[in-house]
Structure 1
Amino acid sequence: MMILVMAVLAVFTFYAFIFVKNQIAREVLGFTGVLLLLGAVGLTTLNFNAHWGMKKVTTTQTKNIYSAAPDQLPVKLLITQEIGTKADDYVMVYRDNANDKQAKAHFVPNKSDMNQLIHTIARYEFKAVNQATVTTETTRWRFDSDLSRWLFGFTGIDGSLVKKEHLVTLPKQGWQAMTAKEAQAMQAQMAAKMAH
């Protein structure tokens, strides 16, 4: 709607400066149109650059997760692969449901969605809890009023991602986090022990 407002103000300003005969009326209407047009452009710029008329809305979702290791193993595993070297960001392998036959990778970066790639992080921690969980906290820009939505709805930034954080919380007792290579080595050791 703001584009239509700016177009109307531009036509109004043009009309005031060109077609109004009375000099005082021309200057008052013309400069009023210029000021209103500059205000509309300024508000649109503020909306694009500083998210004026918007607020951050955060949603949180927590669900249980289950070991990536087979049920026969005495220890429960979270298999991790760090993304980068100092990012504290991981791809993690676990099962979503206790009866899933295979564990699957989670938080694999989507290279085709640059906004999500930049603003998403996944990490893990050990705490004194009984059940392993993953908590996803998503923060998005939302219009803070119906007026803002009406004026700036054309921008397409409503719902744009600010940040998305996945936190896997593991019990201190009975769980381990390790890389895929470490998990394979552990399985080989367990198989060798069982063979003897």
Structure 2
Amino acid sequence: MIVWLMVILSGLLIITLTQFKNRWWRWTSSVIMVIALLASAAMIVANTTYHWGLTTKTTTTSHRIYSAGSSQSPAGMLITKELGTDSGRYVLMYKDTATAKKAQAHFVPNTANTVKAVKQRATYRQVAGKQATVTTTTKRWVWQSSTAKFWLKIGTTPNLLISRRSVVTVPKQTWLVVTATQAQQLAKLQKSMTATQQAAQATTLKVALKARLGHYIQIHPQATKAQQQAYLQQQTAILTVQQLQKQLN
């Protein structure tokens, strides 16, 4: 609306300068029109430069994610690639659903739109917990009121992205965080293992699990079969992560 107002004011200014014969009325009206035009231009500058008439809207979404590794592995895996050196920005690989066959790369910057790309950042954290999640917080400029929208809207100026921050949170004990190079290294190591080595690894795991389950039952003699099974699954994931970490080292 403000653009149309400026057009109307410009027309009125021309009329006052050319049609008013009385000098006092002509100059008084012209000054008023010029002031109104300058005020309108100042409002447009304030809106486009300092976001006058806009306010920040923050939205947060969160959902569960799944391992980038094999669904047969008891341990979860997150594959990371840092963008630059010590930038704190990452491309992260994981599955969005439990039934997905392949992991997808997330938060890949759009090199065709660098302005938008620098406003987006993704990182990860390892915490105590049982499920891996991704939480995204998005901030945008939106109209402060319907009045501001009516007067200041020009094209699709509002709803501009301010920032988008995504944090992938994975359980520290049951998920392994690796780079793409380390993931390839693990795949090669697993593939090169002989049947004897695989059997020895499985036996070591079985013995450790039996000992931990026995200790758990001593502490929790009233534990149900379901609780024991849940404990075994957790410990299997923990020990698998430890085994994989040793292989990487």
Deviation at 1:19, TM superposition (A): 1.7
2:86 aligned partner: 86
1:17 aligned partner: 17
Give unpaired runs (5+ residues) of structure 2.
198-249
Q: CA RMSD, aligned part only?
A: 1.5
1:116-166 per-position Cα deviation (integer Å, ceiling 9, x unaligned): 212111100112222100011111111111122112222422111111111
Which of the two has greater helix per residue?
A: 2
Deviation at 1:112, TM superposition (A): 2.0
Q: 1:91 & 1:26 partners in 2: Cα distance?
A: 65
Deviation at 1:194, TM superposition (A): 5.6
Where do residues 161-176 of structure 1 align in structure 2 (5 Å cutoff)?
A: 161-176=161-176
1:47 aligned partner: 47
Percent identity between the two aligned chains:
34
* Aligned residue type for 2:43: L
The answer to which of 111-120 and 101-110 deviates more is 111-120
Give unpaired runs (5+ residues) of structure 1.
none
Alignment: residue pair count: 196
Could you tell me the TM-score, scaled by structure 1's length?
Answer: 0.94
Q: 2:58 & 2:28 partners in 1: Cα distance?
A: 46
Q: 1:122 & 1:40 partners in 2: Cα distance?
A: 40
CA contact (8 A) 1:141 1:157 kept: no
2:223 aligned partner: none
Deviation at 1:20, TM superposition (A): 1.1
Higher Cα Rg, which structure? 2
CA contact (8 A) 1:55 1:143 kept: yes
* Aligned residue type for 2:84: G
Structure with larger RCO (C-alpha < 8 A, sep 6+): 1
2:112 aligned partner: 112
Which of the two has greater strand per residue?
A: 1
Deviation at 1:26, TM superposition (A): 1.5
1:143 aligned partner: 143
